[in-house]
Amino acid sequence: MVALEKELEKIKQNKVIAIGVGVALLVLLLLLLYYAYHRDLQLWFNPEVSKELVLKQIRSHGVAVALLFFCLIGIMCAIPGVPTSVVCVFVGVCYGPVVGSLINIGGNLMGNLVAIALFRRIKLIDKRHGKNEWVKAISRMKHPKVGLTLGYMIPVVPTFLVNYTATLKGYTEREVLLPVLLGVLPTSVFYALGGDALLSGNFRRLLLVAAGLVVILLLVGLLKRHEKREKAK
DSSP character string of 94-155 = HHHHHHHHHHHHHHHHHHHHHHHHHHHHS--S-GGGGGSHHHHHHHTSSSHHHHHHHHHH-T
How far CA 8 is from CA of 43, 110, 122, 123, in Å, comes to 50, 28, 13, 9
User: Do residues 145 and 207 touch, judged by C-beta distance below 8 A?
Assistant: no
Torsions phi, psi for 158 (to 5 deg): -55, 125
Longest Cα–Cα distance in the chain: 68
User: What type of residue is 74?
Assistant: G
Segment 109-117 shows an average pLDDT of 93
231 vs 10: which has the higher pLDDT: 10
Q: Rounded to an integer, what distance in angstroms lies between the CA atom of residue 165 and that of residue 144?
A: 9
How far CA 176 is from CA of 70, 103, 171, in Å, comes to 20, 20, 6
How far CA 158 is from CA of 56, 90, 151, 185, in Å, comes to 36, 21, 8, 16
SS (H, E, C) 186-217: HHHHHHHHHHHHHHHCCHHHHHHHHHHHHHHH
Segment 98-105 shows an average pLDDT of 93
pLDDT, tens digit, 9 for 90 and up, residues 169-205: 889 999 999 999 999 998 898 888 887 776 666 566 6
Give residue 77's Cα distance to chain centre. 4
Whether 22 shows a pLDDT value over 60: the answer reads yes
150 vs 29: which has the higher pLDDT: 29
